[in-house]
Structures are given as C-alpha cells and as structure tokens.
Amino acid sequence: MLYKSLNYLSKSESFKEAVIKGIAQDNGLYYPEKIKPFSKKLIRNLNKLSLHNIAFKAIKQFIGNAIPEKKLKTIIEETLNFDFPLIQIEENIFSLELFHGPTLAFKDVGARFMARCLEYFNKNSNEKITVLVATSGDTGGAVADGFYNVSGVEVIILYPKGKVSVIQEKQMTTLGKNIIPLEVEGVFDDCQDMVKRAFLDMQINEKRKLTSANSINIARWLPQMFYYFAGYIKASKFNLPINFSVPSGNFGNLYAGLITQKLGLPINHFLACTNLNNVVPRYLDSGIYMPNDTIKTISNAMDVGNPSNFIRVQKVFNNDIAKLKKNISGYSFNDNETKKCIKNVYNKSNYILDPHGAIGYLGLKEYSITNPNQIGIFMETAHPCKFSNVVEKCINQKLDIPKKLIKTLKGDKYSLKISDYRQLKDYLLKD
C-alpha cells in the first residue's frame, strides 16, 4: 500500500514512511492510493469472526509489508484489550461505548496502535523520534498514555490553556519522563497550526525527526475502523439498516468510518454531529466550506473551527458534494441543547451521557424523525466523569470516579507555558 499527498506535490510513500513523517513534504495529508473491498462472503460471515481477526483483515492491506503479520497481530491484540459495549438507550437507538480503555476516551485505540507501530519502526535506530501533537482534550491524554516510556520516542503535547477539563489536563501533565506538555495561550486551532508549521520548518527538521500523533497521522485514524466493525456486528442481529452518528471535531473518526464502508461494511448512513463549531454541517447545508474561529463549548474535544481531516472526507467522494450529502447528514447543537439532552436521557433511560455523546444522540433523534425503522448507533467517546463539572449539574447526581483516574488526579501537574510559534521553535531547537 502506498499513500499519496492530498496536495499532490510529493511522491507516494509506504505506510512506514507516512507514519514516521506524519504529513507529506508538501504539507498535504496522506491518503491510501487504493482500497480493496472485502469479499461479499467475508462481509456475510463477519459475525463468525473475532474482532481481533476482523481488525487484522481490515487493516492488513493498509500496512502492506511494513510490519510482519505476526507482529501486526500482536499490536492489534495489545491495542484491542478492552471491550466496546453496545448499550440500548431506547427503541432502535444505541450507545457504542468507546471509553473503556486506559484514559477513558475513544482515542486510546489509535494512540496505542500508533505507539506500537512507531516503537517497531524505531527499534534498530539510534535516532530519537519526536511526536508533536495538538489536542483539544482527549487526544493528549490518550497519546501520553500510549507513548509513555516508549523507547526512543519523546512526546510533546500542545493543549489550549483553560479549555480542557481537569481530568484531561491531569492525564497529560502528571506522567513526566518522555511526555512534555506545552500549555498554549490560545485555542486548539492555534495549537494545530503550530504543529503544522513546525513540520515545514527546515531548522527544526534538521534538528529533530518529527512525526505527529493527531488524527492527521494515518496510524491514528486507521485503527478507528475497528469501532465500526464492532458496533455493526453487534447491531446486525436486528436486520435493519444501520446508521452511525459520530460526534465530530477534527473528523478523523468519521473518515475511518467511511473507509470501512469502502471495505464493504454495509453502513446505511453517517451523521456528522458537532457543537457550535459547525463548519461541516453548514457546508452540507450551503455547499460553502468556510472555517470559523473556534468557539469554546462544554463538548471541548470537538472545539475545532477548521477540521483537518475533512479534506480526506471530501476525497472519498472526489469532492462531489451531492454524493457526500447522500451519505452524510450534518447536525449542530449548542450547549443548552446538550445539557438538556443529558438531563432528559438520564431521567428517561437512567443512562449517563457525556457532552460529546449527547450531541451524537441528538443527531440520531433528529435523523430518525424522517428515517424511522432504522438502527441508530451514536458513539459515546468519553467517560462522563471526564466532564463531571457539567454532567453532575445536569443529572443532579455525583459521579463515581473510576479507580484508574484517582491516582492521576492526585498527581502533580507539570507543564511549560508558551504563547506563540517562536517559543515552540525555541524549545524544539534547544539541546
């Protein structure tokens, strides 16, 4: 498998090179040159296979010969060592819980998979790799945990000051060792722009071997395909069309879902659900793509005003908006609607949503008005306790903190504060 740049000015790269580089030399995102669908027989018999087996079959063609099959199977087993429960909330509406990993967020899968790939690629090298990553919340904690103590890898995490939850911040700032958190005066888009700029800075690239662990990196979003297989298999017993509602920020998760569809998974429809950072729903409505300044919301992991991966989504449909709209519907909800949803679902179903899952649920409810008798699966992307300051007020209940987080919350915060690209560059160039 080779990967092309979406700017079309760089040569195609192998999986290994694309992972290590993160972004192409021409500043374009990598995308797979071709995708070979599963056989119809395999699709019919997916429910007879283990998720580990399905995951291997799904991702093998994207890896090519970059990782031996035995090693790849081990990486998958170590990545998928927790469950993705499908919980019925009400008739035909289900929550796919993606928060049962070590940092209680859906990004654990991508971070763990990528960390193990990089460790394998760098095992015989004396050159240290620097992972440079921007986060709006959950990515930072997942990457920090996934790469913690990985030999030959230093992780530098940029996060917006005051715009992540207490738990999210603690997960990034209490580990130490090879994890370096940079607290940025600004919003997520500022962090992301700094990361992209660093990749193009020749001075930095002469000094450091850079890669990214954002969903711009193919090794981050590819394993997110596994969620869709897990959810689809569990819901297929109902013999109804299956729709996935994806709370969306940088759109890596939705893109991974579209790739599973390309592989042949018969997903009926996708819902791209956002908070007030609604550039994509507006585009689907108007046909005009116009990024906005980031708006701070209670669903902070989706506070992205210019989602990097949407260009990949457009590429799937060859930039044909009519085809895109046929396959994806967009919805946007504000904080008041989100809070009301958390309260109502708890009172009606005794199920606790986090603010991101709530937005996914709301999208399904709207879509189902004109599309009845279909299964709707929304992705519950983070444990509600990570947003306890919001959720507890909505449900009027104290949330239990999982044991795995108690130690993290007691840890001492360490971060370096920066306000502009110059300060990031100075840090990356220092001996």
CA distances from 278 to 28, 170, 204 (A): 23, 28, 34
**For the purposes of burial, counting CB atoms within 10 Å of the CB of 14, is it exposed (0-12), middle (13-18) or buried (19 or more)?**
middle
Q: Catalytic site residue 234?
A: no
Cα 16 from Cα 118, distance rounded (Å): 8
Cα 235 from Cα 228, distance rounded (Å): 10
Contacts of 95 (CB under 8 A, 6+ apart): 86, 87, 89, 351, 353, 357, 361, 377, 378, 380
Cα 304 from Cα 321, distance rounded (Å): 21
Cα 98 from Cα 102, distance rounded (Å): 11
Cα 136 from Cα 299, distance rounded (Å): 10
Cα 215 from Cα 307, distance rounded (Å): 10
Pairing type for strands 129-134 and 209-212 reads parallel
Map tokens 């580089």 to a residue.
21
First to last CA, the chain: 37
Set 4, 21, 107, 170: catalytic member: 107
- List, edge to edge, every strand of the sheet that includes 93-97: 86-90, 93-97, 375-380, 242-247, 269-274, 328-332
For residue 156, give the nearest of 220, 101, 209, 202 by alpha carbon.
Answer: 209
Taking a C-beta distance cutoff of 8 angstroms, is the pair 392, 384 a contact? no
Q: Which of the residues are catalytic?
A: 107
